Structure 1
Amino acid sequence: MVLNGIIPPDRLRIAAFSLVLYFVFPLALFASEISITGTVQDAVTGEALPRANIIIEGTSTGTAANDRGQFVLENLSPGRYTVIAQMIGYEVGVQRIDVTTDKKLHLDFKLRESFFQTKQIVVTATRTQKLLENVPVATELITNSEIEESGAENLAQILEDRPGITIQENVNGGKTLSLNGIDGKYILVLVDGTPIAGKFNNRLELNFIDADDIDHVEIVKGPSSALYGSEAMGGVINIITKRFDEGLKITSHGKAGSYELYSGNVGVSGGMAKTGYAVNADYSRGGIDQNEISINVTDTESSRIEGKVEYDASGLGVFQTGWEFKEDVQDGNDSIFLLETRIRRNNGFLNWKKECTNRFSYRAKGYYTDYDRRYTTTVVHSGNIASIDTVLENILGLQSDLSYKFRDVRFDFGVDYSRGEYESDRVANHHVLRDQSGVFGQIESNNIKNLTLILGGRYDKITDVDGYFSPRISAMYEISPEFKLRSSYGGGFRAPSFTDLYIDYNNVFVGYQVIGNPDLKPEKAKGFNIGLEYFYDYTVLFNLNLNRNRFDDMILDYVVRPAVLSYRNVEHATFTGIEAQMRIYMLKNLTATFAYNYNEIDQDDDIEEVPSFFPRSGYVRLNYGMFKNKVKLSIRDQLLGNRQVREFDRRTGQYLPNLKTQKAYHLLDVTLTWYLMKQLSARTGVTNLADFTNVTYGPWIGRRLFVSLDVTF
């Protein structure tokens, strides 16, 4: 109320406060609506990177780049921010910016193609999904880009130039591996975390695993039975297959090369609503040097078809199922016989994943894998069948994993069960069954700053074999943003195989006999790994690892009497190794990888049959991009030092007493790739450029050329 023209003081105060709100509050709103614009581009080509993720560290604020690589971060208050740009296949971009009332803030990110791999998700080392940089167990990764640039046809070719891995070829054309000097029968090979049926002489032949459906390969060195049970004494190689694409994608791949090599692959994949699907078919033929007398194979032929489907049932979880059929045929001959090996494989699975809460999840997987190998010998002149040797093996299994996270502690538990069936004319009673069950658990703690600690173990029980417990402890400590220290200690074991226990085979053509030993004990291992990592400014990544693995009760073959072989447990052998690897950006379009690996075996004096290996090996890889990465040159060189070899004389049925030395050599591969357009690329290359061969010890196949064409719609 106004009295005599005078406004009461309380109303004056209200009016003044209202004026302040009227003018100041909009200014406050205006100040809080500060935004940052920017772009995300390929550092070499300058092309936009659509759907790159841009986030502000430590907040929930983020966005994605549009089709032109542009982004906007809105509603920011004044302050200092760390802005991160991420894109699959590229290194992470990080920029810091001071936000004031200035509205014209702009950031440009130029991301380089991924080279250091630290942001790649891996699963093998802990049986859970983790970024590679956060895994406390030393893990090596072979990316899809590395597989493609090598022109690899199969898993053997993917692995053959990796430090510490030696690929050896037998006279039947099969390729097996050794890892840090440890024979391949102690290395567990998995596909998406499940085992594969079918081994020849206890070793998986890697050239029968096609590269077309492989996304990447994870390698864990050292005892891993605490997660995977038997056969993981020396390490695990896990093949991760390709995932589903968003929208329809059609791919086609064709390749031709030396020794009448022809191969092709067609794939269709995509997704709609809550469903994903993928179908692949491939065929290959040839690739064997028919003039090489050391290899009894004159021709090879392989065909494969596989498909998988995924469905997200919302509250019920995600279901995935798939099936693969593969057939491989090898023809060969000698002066008396025509030889044919025909291998058929069927692999199927059914997965279920359920994220119950943000703390609790469950996964179950059922799988079936079978292997049918028929080896037919036919007399050259008469055409009469001299022998048919058949091996049938199948595995039916179930895996289950449960995870629960409480604050900074994560609990993982799981139960595995499998039933293996083996049938062969070479084993006593011809038919054997084996059940294997295992239960594991691990606890991961991040309670202490900069320290990740994992404790775990697994107990396994296998038919006719004593139960065995495999422990493991691993830790990673971040000394500084650049330095990390990793260490792990674990146990492993390998149950005697069907052939170790029950083989009863008389090779009348060569003149020797092999008999099993049903009294064999499981082989055991205890080992540790210590590693140091230095990562500087996304320019240099250096890793140094020391490993030691002691095997007890090793199962090795020995001469019972002339021309008669069997198996026995021996005392021990200790494998010690050191590995150094450095990845470096030398120029913005030139990257280099250097690696050196040294291994030695300390064994009992009476052990003469430990398989030979290369104590020293090195690896160099150079990648050079030209014309804004439209053309890429890859040079890879593997250097193998001298090794000692103990030969087996088939005429006497005994190992020769004196060791022989295989001289050092190197294998140089070169690949050139043209990215003609987004949908079309061409590749040409040469393996074993120096054309090195060794008739006695291998490699038996010399220089090989290839050209390939990839089309994507």
Structure 2
Amino acid sequence: MKKLFILFLAFYVNHALADGDPSLEDLLDTGLLNPSRNVDASTASKFSQRIQKAPSAVRVLSHDDIAEYGYRTLGEILRSLPGLDTSYDYVNTFLGARGVAIPGDYNTRVLILIDGIRLNNNVFDSALVGNEFPLDVDLIDRVEYAAGPGSAIYGNNAFFGVVNILTRGASSLRGTEASLEYGSFNTHKLRASVAKRLDNGAEYLLSASQFYRGGPSTTAYMDYSVVAPDFKGSAAIDDEINNNIFAKFSIGGLQLTGVFSNREKGNPVLMNFTNDQLLIMNGKSVASSQHAFVGMSYEFSLFNDWNFQTRLNYHEEEYQGSNPFYFDPTSMFIAKEDAIGRWWDGEFQVVNNRLEGHKILLGVEGRLNVEQSWRSYIEGWDSQVNRQQSSQRFAAFTQDEISINDQLTFIAGARLDYTEFGSNVNPRLGLIWNPQDKTNFKLLYGSAFRNPNFFEQTQNEANFFHVANAEKINTIELAAEHYFSPSTKFNSSLYHYRMSDLIGQANYETGLVYLNLEEIKSIGWETELEQRFKNGLQAKLAYSLQRTTIAGHEVFNSPRHMLNFKFSVPLFDSHWKLASELRYLSGREIFFGHLDPQWLGDMSLNGELNKNFSISLTAHNIGDVSYREATRIANYDSFSAKQDGRDIRLKLNVRY
């Protein structure tokens, strides 16, 4: 790989010397000298507005940011933001937010959208952020994260925040692209995409990709287990394969979006035997999932001050789990799990600014759950848990953005949700002060809720345990943004959360159940400092201090300190950049143990050999640090899972 890189580098230098003045396309690809001030985002309020006016501390990451730092999954993108972290249990990647990171809750407390389409499903309420995410990160144009409760606009799941992934179009992809990745752990990825803008103004984008990971030759569990005497086959089972298809078509205010993804994840079968010895047994655990949706949205205006938007989406999601287990070293049984979700959701909203000093949002939303089913059984046995249902939810919401004067804006909103658990009302209040162009303050209050999902209900009913109550949260936050100079940006947030009836997991007499916890409080401070220099060097330092407690004790898997430092610097010219990210998480208490502090570093080298051929070399966990992440159950030898070491990948990208 080293010789190949040197060859590419020499080829680049030869072409760079022959290049003339930069073209318009080159200038469009050149990064900004200063942090952008007037950035628009639509996630916080469901309509486009300057982030200084948004009733949330909004963070935005662009396609260039994602490529520059070599982010490979949505989880890697999000964990670079203040207050967010991830954990991985060899099957799924879980997202933690502002001190609450419960492995195994399937990311139910952060709402994730693709082009405004709700992704959280109707069985587990999940929207996973690792390789399970149904969209290739190369197709992301930008990621918007609105921190804090969003139930006043979005309803269920918008508990700790809302993430909206906006996809690329013809202006960004510019024709046809193909990419090839190869790297550590026998990993490779292929992608082919085509996008075009037609003479009548219509645009389309089609893309297909496949990701494969064979797994390390010596996986984590080999460190503390032995092969059973009668084992047959290969012990290195930690493989994964994903297939993704994405399509988008737009003309005027109409947009059609389609996504299909299929994933299969394999893991070993282990057994605790004599003398606490962990044995690698015959068999293979497989988790398979499919997700597909088709969405339509249409935007139009009337009388210049009435803007309408309507959406209609159809989703299908299926999950199958096959998990061999042993009562003794000679008797293998297979536990099966199946889940199916099919649903429609739709929305109609209008934004009106006819009244002077007011920007009013009105909307209605509904979801029709055509099918919600979950089944669990042991192959060959008669006993099983099998539950199916259909349900529906409806909501109405409103928000008014009131300009008191040039410096002061007041925001008031609320949403009423009708669900199978009754009604929920969630308000939002915000006071935004811009004393000068370079300074912004926000005082925000909000509440949110999350109903127990279908899986949590089913688990409790199968174990003859009462269904948990809905979770609720009340928050207050003070956010500030200031430009010390055009090239130096500072922002900070101070928040206090009070959560009641948060749903947690417990082992009951007959199995896993979900119950309401005592009141949880979280107080925290997040801050970012961004600096851009004239020579093209960019640096950003983010720090989060958080303390999340239940009955006076810090909650499970909650780091007190999180730090993220990243920088990028041009090497030869603006077409070649070296970028690096350093992350720190303080030690955390977990079930029956403790996780040590983590210092992890990533590095990425990106360059263009010519206008149509680019290359990147990324190294994650460049220091080959040995570390662990929390899991919800005893995973092999503890309630934690050892993570991968150094992971290097080479990526080639061609466009024409």
1:662 to 571, 595, 598: 595
Give 1:299's aligned amino acid.
Answer: D
2:164 to 216, 219, 238: 238
* Separation of aligned partners in 2, 1:711 and 1:504: 52
Match of 2:496 in 1: 548
* Separation of aligned partners in 2, 1:447 and 1:287: 59
Give 1:416's aligned amino acid.
Answer: E
Match of 1:633 in 2: 578
Pick which of 523-532 and 564-573 moved more. 564-573
1:182 to 97, 100, 105: 100
1:143 to 1:676, Cα distance in 2 relative to 1, 3 A: same
* Separation of aligned partners in 2, 1:113 and 1:537: 15
Give 1:267's aligned amino acid.
Answer: S
Q: Residue 168 in 1 paired to residue 94 in 2?
A: no
**What are the equivalent positions in structure 2 for 1:444-523 lying under 5 Å apart?**
444-463=401-420, 465-503=421-459, 515=463, 517-523=465-471
Q: 1:365-416 deviations in whole A, cap 9, x for unaligned?
A: 1011221111124689999983432111122100111011123211111111
1:118 to 1:269, Cα distance in 2 relative to 1, 3 A: same
Answer yes or no: is the 8 Å Cα contact 2:460–2:514 preserved in 1.
no
**What are the equivalent positions in structure 2 for 1:256-295 lying under 5 Å apart?**
256-272=182-198, 273-286=200-213, 288-294=215-221
* Separation of aligned partners in 1, 2:516 and 2:532: 49
Q: 1:185-212 deviations in whole A, cap 9, x for unaligned?
A: 2111221222224489654331111312
Match of 2:294 in 1: 348
Give 1:436's aligned amino acid.
Answer: R
1:322 to 1:114, Cα distance in 2 relative to 1, 3 A: farther
Match of 1:692 in 2: 625
Which one has more relative contact order, counting CA pairs under 8 Å at least 6 apart?
2
Answer yes or no: is the 8 Å Cα contact 1:590–1:624 preserved in 2.
yes
* Separation of aligned partners in 2, 1:558 and 1:688: 33
Q: Residue 192 in 1 paired to residue 115 in 2?
A: yes
Match of 2:478 in 1: 530
Match of 1:214 in 2: 140
Q: 1:100-145 deviations in whole A, cap 9, x for unaligned?
A: xxxxxxxxxxxx5266243332111111101334434211112111
* Separation of aligned partners in 1, 2:172 and 2:180: 24
Shift of 1:173: 2.6
Q: 1:599-631 deviations in whole A, cap 9, x for unaligned?
A: 1113226x89x4412110101011101222121
* Separation of aligned partners in 1, 2:72 and 2:406: 45
Match of 1:323 in 2: 258
Shift of 1:528: 1.5
Shift of 1:583: 0.1
Match of 1:227 in 2: 153
Q: Residue 411 in 1 paired to residue 338 in 2?
A: no
Give 1:577's aligned amino acid.
Answer: G
TM-score using structure 2 length? 0.83
**What are the equivalent positions in structure 2 for 1:332-481 lying under 5 Å apart?**
332-334=267-269, 335-377=281-323, 386-406=334-354, 407-420=356-369, 421-426=371-376, 429-463=386-420, 465-481=421-437
* Separation of aligned partners in 2, 1:205 and 1:536: 38
1:627 to 1:492, Cα distance in 2 relative to 1, 3 A: same
SS of the residue aligned with 1:158?
Answer: helix
TM-score using structure 1 length? 0.77
Q: Residue 299 in 1 paired to residue 245 in 2?
A: no
Q: Residue 707 in 1 paired to residue 650 in 2?
A: yes
* Separation of aligned partners in 1, 2:172 and 2:238: 43
Shift of 1:536: 3.1
Pick which of 183-192 and 260-269 moved more. 183-192
1:602 to 549, 552, 564: 549
Answer yes or no: is the 8 Å Cα contact 2:123–2:454 preserved in 1.
no
**What are the equivalent positions in structure 2 for 1:3-152 lying under 5 Å apart?**
50=24, 113=32, 116-152=35-71
SS of the residue aligned with 1:589?
Answer: coil
* Separation of aligned partners in 1, 2:44 and 2:214: 35
Match of 2:516 in 1: 569
Give 1:567's aligned amino acid.
Answer: Y
Answer yes or no: is the 8 Å Cα contact 1:197–1:370 preserved in 2.
no
1:587 to 1:246, Cα distance in 2 relative to 1, 3 A: closer
1:543 to 1:384, Cα distance in 2 relative to 1, 3 A: same
Answer yes or no: is the 8 Å Cα contact 2:122–2:341 preserved in 1.
no
SS of the residue aligned with 1:205?
Answer: coil
* Separation of aligned partners in 2, 1:163 and 1:127: 22
Radius of gyration: which is bigger? 1
SS of the residue aligned with 1:190?
Answer: strand
* Separation of aligned partners in 2, 1:202 and 1:411: 30
Shift of 1:428: 5.4
Match of 2:251 in 1: 311
Give 1:491's aligned amino acid.
Answer: S
Answer yes or no: is the 8 Å Cα contact 2:428–2:445 preserved in 1.
yes
SS of the residue aligned with 2:64?
Answer: helix
* Separation of aligned partners in 1, 2:164 and 2:98: 17
Q: 1:547-598 deviations in whole A, cap 9, x for unaligned?
A: 111111222223444x644222233101111011000124431111011101
Match of 2:72 in 1: 153
* Separation of aligned partners in 2, 1:291 and 1:625: 37
Answer yes or no: is the 8 Å Cα contact 2:460–2:467 preserved in 1.
no
Q: 1:208-266 deviations in whole A, cap 9, x for unaligned?
A: 11312211111111111001101111111221111333896111111111001100111
SS of the residue aligned with 2:457?
Answer: helix
Listed as ranges, the gaps of 5+ residues in structure 1 are 1-44, 51-66, 70-86, 91-111, 313-317, 506-513, 648-659
1:287 to 1:447, Cα distance in 2 relative to 1, 3 A: farther
Root mean square deviation of aligned Cα = 2.8
**What are the equivalent positions in structure 2 for 1:638-657 lying under 5 Å apart?**
638-647=583-592
Q: 1:12-43 deviations in whole A, cap 9, x for unaligned?
A: xxxxxxxxxxxxxxxxxxxxxxxxxxxxxxxx
1:287 to 1:139, Cα distance in 2 relative to 1, 3 A: farther
Q: 1:664-701 deviations in whole A, cap 9, x for unaligned?
A: 12110010111222211111010001111235534511
1:516 to 1:621, Cα distance in 2 relative to 1, 3 A: farther
Match of 2:275 in 1: none
Answer yes or no: is the 8 Å Cα contact 1:595–1:619 preserved in 2.
yes
* Separation of aligned partners in 1, 2:526 and 2:321: 40
Answer yes or no: is the 8 Å Cα contact 1:176–1:203 preserved in 2.
no
Give 2:144's aligned amino acid.
Answer: E
Pick which of 133-142 and 535-544 moved more. 133-142
Answer yes or no: is the 8 Å Cα contact 1:583–1:594 preserved in 2.
yes
Answer yes or no: is the 8 Å Cα contact 2:117–2:295 preserved in 1.
no
Listed as ranges, the gaps of 5+ residues in structure 2 are 1-18, 102-106, 223-235, 270-280, 377-383, 629-637
1:638 to 1:128, Cα distance in 2 relative to 1, 3 A: same
Pick which of 580-589 and 491-500 moved more. 580-589
